[in-house]
Amino acid sequence: MDNNITLAVIGCGRIANAAHLPVLSNLDHVRIKYACDLIREKAERAKTDFPKIEQVITDYKIALDDPEVDAVFVLTPNYSHYQVAMDAMRAGKHVMCEKPVTVNYELSAEMAKAADKYGRILNIGVCNRYHRSVEMLRDLNAQGRFGKLYHVYCSFRSFRSIPGLGGAFTTKAQSGGGVLIDWGIHFFDLILYILGEPKLLSATCDAYNEMAKDMKAYKYRGMWAEDTADIKHGTNDVDDFITGYIRTDKAGISFNGAWAQNIDKSEMFIDFLGDKAGARLSYGGKFEIYDGNTLETIRPEYDIPDMYRLEDQAFIESVKTGVKNRSNVDSVLNSMLLLDTLYRSADEKREIAL
């Protein structure tokens, strides 16, 4: 392999245009040979906005058949991650796949197995791990700064944020679930990462679908994915509010998540409670430490680099070296297992051992 990495970007929707295409367009020694979308106009628009894209296609198999392509970015709805990533790895391509791995743990584990079988890098878009603050919290915890870290509480609640009502995000067969799999994956991934991969013991959860059970009556103020909303003919069979408790061999974890709620507040944070100190990590990067010994609030200084740039650079580096990095699928499987267990607990209305 020469110094250049040749890529295909599969799926030219929001995350492609907002995050990965801007980053990849500015990385040296990276070719974007193909932009692929089932809807040709979306791929054409991406090519206009990101001239580094060389060709537009609607069938990703064309990119997989091209020996010049080293790796693909899978930026399609959750259910199709499995098929596209499996086809890509079978064709010898490395894969950077957006989160969640796919719609459930079983298929995610198959994807991880395939990555090993074909000797390919399979990274998942756990972009928040690339915040400097997250790395610092992980180190502080490992160094014992919090003393006994006995509990973590997290909130991922918003006023009106059901994405693409009636579309892929709210159709369980296509998404795997609602707010829990869509937002919860980021929060649980961060918690498990910062705690240092605790052993999961049990989980219990209640899931609600209340705010848009009558999709036409749902009143929204801000919502992304409006263009994919289909409130007339679509489906909304996923959780819009979720709450539960997780036991681990380290801290207990309690949580509330809402894509929508009749409280006009967006509360997106993780609290780490230790007997010597605590920390609140605000979603998006910043954290504060509350020091119980000195009754002090400490606001650490750090830079918040572009997490997507670091994530994509790390993937390219792994492709070049063959060395797995922090967003390798192996390290995301535990959060997928946890999500599955929480959904099962909600269905069966009981605590489930892991």
- How many CB atoms sit inside 10 A of residue 266's CB? 16
CB closer to ligand NAD, 16 vs 314: 16
Lay out the site mask for ligand NAD across 175-214 (x = CB under 6 A, - = otherwise): ----------------------------------------
* Residue 149 near residue 210 (C-beta atoms within 8 A): no
Residues 216-235 that bind ligand NAD (CB under 6 A): 228
Which single residue brings its beta carbon nearest to ligand NAD? 13
CB closer to ligand NAD, 19 vs 136: 19
Residue 288 Cβ vs ligand NAD, minimum distance, rounded to whole Å? 23
What is the C-alpha separation between 72 and 70, in angstroms, rounded?
A: 7
Closest CA to 228 of 1, 39, 17, 95: 39
CB closer to ligand NAD, 14 vs 151: 14
Residues 2-31 that bind ligand NAD (CB under 6 A): 10-16
Residue 169 Cβ vs ligand NAD, minimum distance, rounded to whole Å? 8
Q: Which two tokens stand for residue 188?
A: 């649980």
Dihedrals φ, ψ of 66, to 5°?
-90, 115
Angle at CA of residue 156, ends 129 and 210, nearest 5° = 140
CB closer to ligand NAD, 198 vs 257: 257
CB closer to ligand NAD, 69 vs 149: 69
Residue 12 Cβ vs ligand NAD, minimum distance, rounded to whole Å? 5
CB closer to ligand NAD, 177 vs 278: 177
What is the C-alpha separation between 290 and 136, in angstroms, rounded?
A: 15
CB closer to ligand NAD, 15 vs 121: 15
Task: Report H helices in 31-171.
Answer: 40-49, 60-64, 78-90, 105-118, 132-142
In the set 36, 96, 114, 279, which binds ligand NAD (CB under 6 A)? Answer: 36
Is the sign of the CA dihedral 198, 275, 205, 213 positive or negative? Answer: negative
Residue 234 Cβ vs ligand NAD, minimum distance, rounded to whole Å? 13
Residues 37-96 that bind ligand NAD (CB under 6 A): 37-39, 42, 60, 75-78, 80, 84
What is the C-alpha separation between 245 and 41, in angstroms, rounded?
A: 44
Neighbour-count burial of 117, counting CB atoms closer than 10 A to its CB (0-12 exposed, 13-18 middle, 19+ buried): exposed
Residues found near ligand NAD in the complex (CB under 6 A)? 10-16, 36-39, 42, 60, 75-78, 80, 84, 98-99, 125, 127, 228
